[in-house]
Amino acid sequence: MTLLSIENLKTHFFTKAGVVKSVDGVSFDLDRGEILGIVGESGSGKSVTGFSIMGLVDAPGRIAEGSIRFDGQNLVDLPEPQMRDLRGRRIAMIFQDPMMTLNPVLRVDTQMIEALRAHGRWSDDDARQRCRDVLGQVGIPSPEERLKSYPHQFSGGMRQRVAIAIALLHQPDLIIADEPTTALDVTIQAQILFEIQKLVAENNTAMIWVTHDLAVVAGLANRVAVMYAGRIVEMGTTDEVVNRPAHPYTAGLIGSAPSRNARGTRLTQIRGMAPLPMNLPTGCAFQPRCDHATGACAVSPDASTLEGDHLVRCHHPLVGAFDRGTAA
Amino acid sequence: MTVFIIRRLLQSVLVVAVMTLLVFAGVYAIGNPVEILISQDATEAERAAAIARLGLDKSLPEQYLAFLGNLVKGDLGTSFVFGEPALQLVLQRFPATMELAICAMMMSIFIGVPLGLYAGLRPESIAGRTIMTGSIFGFSLPNFWQGLMLIMLFAVILQWLPAGGRGVRGEFLGIESSFFSWDGISHLILPAINLALFKTSLVIRLTRASVRETINLDYVKFARAKGLRPRRVIGLHVLKNIMIPLVTIIGLEFGSVIAFAVVTETVFAWPGMGKLIIDSIFQLDRPVIVAYLIVIVCLFITINLVVDILYAILDPRVRLADQKA
Ligand SMILES: Nc1ncnc2c1ncn2[C@@H]1O[C@H](COP(=O)(O)OP(=O)(O)OP(=O)(O)O)[C@@H](O)[C@H]1O
Ligand SMILES: [Mg+2]
């Protein structure tokens, strides 16, 4: 059952220097209980997509076009009080940098209880009990003591667990996780991934997992969307996208990930730099960095469907050309 | 904590010692108070007697040592001009200056913080821009000129408020103060505004800058992502964080308000310490100058101590014990 349906979302920043088209025509659907991975280089518009869903795009940015349907409601023109009622209760977000997410001058219990009370009456005892339970769920030892601590008394991994606990407080229908493990070391990252996967499965929560690390997404997501310069250039099941990438950019991402390569082979590299959203090349935005580019690429490609739901936005999709392990 | 306070107090003693030494040398270098204090046609004998009475017949080091000896006993000497204990003279004027300074500081906090908050939250709005432009005036117009204009407008042209002096004080719970009588308050308003204008501008700009900086931080966005109302996001998450720089600056500025009061007290004939110190400097009344400065130093030290303690209360990451005093 479709929970979230985004149609041609365009979120632009109208800065003094010009219009930054951070998200420029993104569409995807998400079912209840499904995990969608969004992958892309820095600046490709992943976070802005997440903030657009939350209704938290900072000025001078705004949603210029498109619709975000969540459980039947279009969030784009939802009045702020209704949007606020959804935030935290039905849609929660976990941020990129755990060191910056919690307010440094407020105790953890203050920050958790206020999140509960934003959406209903909670007695002190009930609220504390709920906080303890959720902190326990995300693997924080002795929650009672930890509730009385300030964020600086926690390690980065523990802080991110607290942020995740806050996101889970109301058992939301949708969690947007914006690279929640990027800032953490690998073992902590694996633990948190494992726990989140378990919790999401238990509650049938839908999740958008933003990352620039395909390896993380491969073990977690049902489907993957690859973003480049504000657009989804490829989307499909995790198996399709990771093992049979059709877009040269996706293939490049996979080729440059160490874990995906046979030992001793050289890592490939996508040449050039990600374009600035201020001055995108006309036509396909990836064209200047692409080995397969031809004259046709001067025209922006439409999305085309390969087998199943595998969607790609490219004039020369690499159907079957890429075989993992040997392509490098 | 106790160690911290003791360390602070020891430092203060050192500061007072250095400061008195400088004042002694400074006043000595400026001139001989005898020339000012004793009339031109006094006889040689009268002159010598006066010099001996003031203790000015001894050498400077001797005078300083005598002063230190008395200081330990709590005696800061007798005013050359008034013949009264210098400390008592200063302390008599102390409440008037404190009244003015507290009133001015309150004005700048209760006007400056809300305006700065507004300008920080809506920097592009007309009101926000007007506030910022207004604060430039508060900054750049000379203090004494602002005072004179206030007198012109409200005392001379509109005749709403008195032009100067302190008025009749009221009494409440045994404390005598201008705050407790209408006449006292009406005399207090203009000088307090005059003293507050510069500080208000400062508080506005500081608040605005802190808000602009804080509002884009992740934890504020995260607070909004939890579904909190703007009132709580601003009133708790933003405000509690900007309180940290605000308290520090306001605390330090409180000291400088007392020092700045010199100009305002002169313009409005406000009988506070500022006016006393100006008169005393002109007459080279060294005991009063020294007593005044000792009082001011003690005040600054107290303020700094309070600021540090508040700082530790507001910011859980700061612990006084770890802090270098
Ligand atoms: N407030 C803003 N004003 C102007 N441009 C912005 C603003 N916020 C984001 N952008 C632009 O939008 C683009 C996309 O940003 P976004 O944060 O979504 O990238 P991202 O894919 O999340 O990258 P990262 O992996 O580094 O987090 C960037 O080029 C950025 O410069
Ligand atoms: Mg991001």
Residues whose CB falls within 8 Å of the CB of residue B159, separated by 6 or more in sequence, listed in order: none
Q: What is the CB neighbour count within 10 angstroms for residue B99? A: 21
Integer Cα distance of A215 and A72 in angstroms: 33
Q: Is A106 on the interface with B (CB under 8 A)?
A: yes
What chain A residue is nearest to B226 in terms of C-alpha separation? A88
Question: Which ligand 1 atom is at minimum distance from the Cα of A277?
Answer: 29
Of the listed ranges A166-180, B79-93, B113-127, the least confidently predicted one is B79-93
The band of A38, judged by pLDDT with boundaries at 50, 70 and 90, is very high
Q: What is the mean pLDDT of residues A200-217?
A: 86
Q: Is A44 in the pocket of ligand 1 (CB under 6 A)?
A: yes
Q: Across the interface, which of A88, A101, A107 has its CB nearest the CB of B227?
A: A88
pLDDT tens digits along B233-291: 999 999 999 998 898 888 888 888 887 788 888 888 888 888 888 888 888 888 888 88
The band of A257, judged by pLDDT with boundaries at 50, 70 and 90, is low
Say whether pLDDT at A308 is over 50: yes
Mean pLDDT score across all residues of chain A? 85
> Taking the mean position of all CA atoms in its chain, how far away is CA A137?
22
* H helix runs in chain A, sequence order: 46-54, 80-86, 98-101, 108-117, 124-137, 143-147, 156-168, 186-203, 214-218, 238-243, 248-255
Sequence spans of domains, chain A: 2-90+170-327, 98-169
Interface contact flag, B229 A84, Cβ < 8 Å:
yes
CATH numeric code, A2-90+170-327: 3.40.50.300
pTM listed for this prediction: 0.82
Sequence spans of domains, chain B: 91-268
The band of B24, judged by pLDDT with boundaries at 50, 70 and 90, is confident
The residue of A16, A103, A162, A175 whose CB has the most chain B CBs within 10 angstroms, and thus the best one to mutate to test that interface, is A103
Q: What is the DSSP letter of B154?
A: I
Ligand nearest to the CA of A231: 1
Angle, helices B126-140/B86-121, rounded to nearest 10 degrees: 150
Ligand nearest to the CA of A213: 1
> Residue of the nearest CA to atom 12 in ligand 1?
A22
Q: Please name the amino acid found at residue A148.
A: K
Q: How far is CA B317 from CA A144, A269, B236, B321, in A?
A: 21, 43, 17, 12
Among A19, A23, A47, A210, say which to mutate for ligand 1: greatest number of ligand atoms within 8 Å of CB. A47
Tokens of B7: 């360390």
Q: Is A230 in the pocket of ligand 1 (CB under 6 A)?
A: no
pLDDT tens digits along B138-176: 888 888 888 888 888 887 787 787 777 777 776 666 677
Say whether pLDDT at B58 is over 90: no
Say whether pLDDT at A123 is over 70: yes
The residue of B219, B241, B244 whose CB has the most chain A CBs within 10 angstroms, and thus the best one to mutate to test that interface, is B219
Q: Across the interface, which of B218, B228, B244 has its CB nearest the CB of A97?
A: B218
Q: Is A32 in the pocket of ligand 1 (CB under 6 A)?
A: no
Q: What is the DSSP letter of B78?
A: B
Q: Across the interface, which of B216, B225, B232 has its CB nearest the CB of A58?
A: B216
Q: Is A119 on the interface with B (CB under 8 A)?
A: yes
Q: Is A228 in the pocket of ligand 1 (CB under 6 A)?
A: no
Complex ipTM: 0.88
Q: Is A50 in the pocket of ligand 1 (CB under 6 A)?
A: no
pLDDT tens digits along A228-253: 888 999 999 988 888 888 888 888 88
The band of A128, judged by pLDDT with boundaries at 50, 70 and 90, is very high
Dihedral sign, Cα of residue A217, residue A218, residue A219, residue A224 = positive
Which CATH number fits the domain B91-268, given the four candidates 3.60.15.10, 3.40.50.300, 3.30.710.10, 1.10.3720.10? Answer: 1.10.3720.10
> Residue of the nearest CA to atom 16 in ligand 1?
A45
pLDDT tens digits along B180-200: 777 777 788 888 898 898 899
Question: Which ligand 1 atom is at minimum distance from the Cα of A276?
Answer: 29
Q: Please name the amino acid found at residue B202.
A: L
* Rg of chain B taking only CA atoms, in angstroms: 24
Say whether pLDDT at A301 is over 60: yes
Q: Please name the amino acid found at residue B184.
A: G
Ligand nearest to the CA of A38: 1
Interface contact flag, B226 A166, Cβ < 8 Å:
yes
Q: Is A81 on the interface with B (CB under 8 A)?
A: no
Among A24, A44, A214, say which to mutate for ligand 1: greatest number of ligand atoms within 8 Å of CB. A44
